[in-house]
Amino acid sequence: MTFENTEAFARELDARDPLAPYRKEFLFPQHNGEDVIYFTGNSLGLQPKRAAARVEQIMKDWKELAVEGHFRAENPWWEYHEQLAPYLEKIVGARAGEVTVMNTLTVNLHLLMVSFYRPSGKRYKILCEEKAFPSDQYMLQSQLRFHGYDPEDALIEVPKRPDEHHWRTEDILGVIGEHADSIALVLMGGVNYYNGQVLDMAAITRAGHAAGALVGWDLAHAAGNVRLELHDWDVDFAAWCSYKYMNSGPGNLSGAFIHERHIADQTLQRFEGWWGTKKETRFQMRPQFDPLPTADAWQLSNPPVLALAPYLASLELFDQVGMDALIEKRERLTAYLEFILGEVDKQVESRFEIITPADRGCQLSVFLHGEGRPLFDYLMEHGVVPDWREPNVIRLAPAPFYCSYLDMYRFGRILREGIESGRA
């Protein structure tokens, strides 16, 4: 398709967009009485309008049933989380029983490492990407220290090449091969939070297994954004947050994937709690743990249903639309944003560059040459909500559920005006 930098063309794309009606399913912050141009679905997704009704139903059940709501509510609380798993299995490419919802992302990664980071002898190192998201760095370093290792020695961080903004798959595979005798675990971010790059998770998983390591993925920026086939890729485990592309609300619950071969492994160690026991025997209060035959065996406590409710509301929308349709729009919408940025770049004489490679989801990270924080502030003051990352990068994530082509056109106009205004 040949794009045009005109309002009429953007409106025409929106008129032909089969997902355009879903914009009305979400609540937008307002600027001068109009919806903001929202580019931070990679940080916090917008609120689905139907989320409040889901929460209010639980409040009503709590009011009218109190403790009996666990079993007599419209959606009984003791099994409420089970409604989410079938939707999530489609989104991440899992088989039935391989997905659960519990805790928050870093908590889940720590718990999964109890099962999947098993250092022994000379095989004790962990491999990740250079400058992983800080929470992952802290988690990996603390796990290594807990096991008695020095992160300076035991944490292998794959660098980017000098003067390049993204990783090359061959470099990652090469480092795995170089340390094949000492790596116990490969644990990386499937989509990099800073540059928006989608790593080749299938190839890296194969290489990790060939080296004798287990392989897990932090899918914070991947789940609900890019195509995932965790079971078929033979991934050992993964976890993701739900408040970015899956619109479940600030700080909300995390999803976790455990491959079925590990679920069936009776020798696998994990930290255990009451909610991981079989439902049939849970209330018999037996002293011995009797695990569920699914990923739910990794649950510790009964999930907070008030947090599950808005997550379920959003997942219902995902199920209506499907990842194929979301990815199709994501590719076209992000391409149009890239085109608009290129047009503005011509008009203002090359003020910035896109550092996100072609292997991407819906995020474009833009390096502001000659500009700075004042330009970001200008955008915010004029109804655009992007994300700032030091030292000089603006992240733009046009989430396909609720962003429009007209948003991309309007953003380009505001961006150009901001640069030309002299505020930047």
Name the token pair of 302.
């009964």
In the structure, what pLDDT confidence band is assigned to residue 424 with cuts at 50, 70 and 90?
very low
For residue 344, what pLDDT is reported? 93
Q: Is the pLDDT of residue 347 over 60?
A: yes
Name the pTM for this structure. Answer: 0.96
Query: What is the DSSP track for 354-386?
Result: E---SSBSS-EEEEETT--HHHHHHHHHTTEE-
Averaged pLDDT, 111-125: 97
User: Rounded to whole angstroms, how far apart are CA atoms 402 and 23?
Assistant: 4
Count of CB atoms within 10 A of residue 28's CB?
15
List alpha helices for 22-163, DSSP H. Answer: 51-65, 69-72, 85-92, 105-116, 134-146, 151-154
Strand, helix or coil at 240?
A: strand
Taking the mean position of all CA atoms in its chain, how far away is CA 179? Answer: 28
Taking the mean position of all CA atoms in its chain, how far away is CA 23? Answer: 20
Question: For the chain, what percent of residues have pLDDT higher than 70?
Answer: 99
Q: Is the pLDDT of residue 48 over 50?
A: yes
Name the token pair of 215.
């392989």
Q: Where are the beta strands (DSSP E) in 146-292?
A: 155-158, 183-189, 214-218, 237-240, 254-258
For residue 423, what pLDDT is reported? 45
For residue 349, what pLDDT is reported? 74
Identity at 70, one-letter amino acid code? H
Q: Which domains does the chain have, with CATH numbers?
A: 7-35+322-420 (3.90.1150.10), 54-321 (3.40.640.10)
Count of CB atoms within 10 A of residue 40's CB?
17
Averaged pLDDT, 322-342: 97
Q: Are 365 and 196 in contact (CB under 8 A)?
A: yes
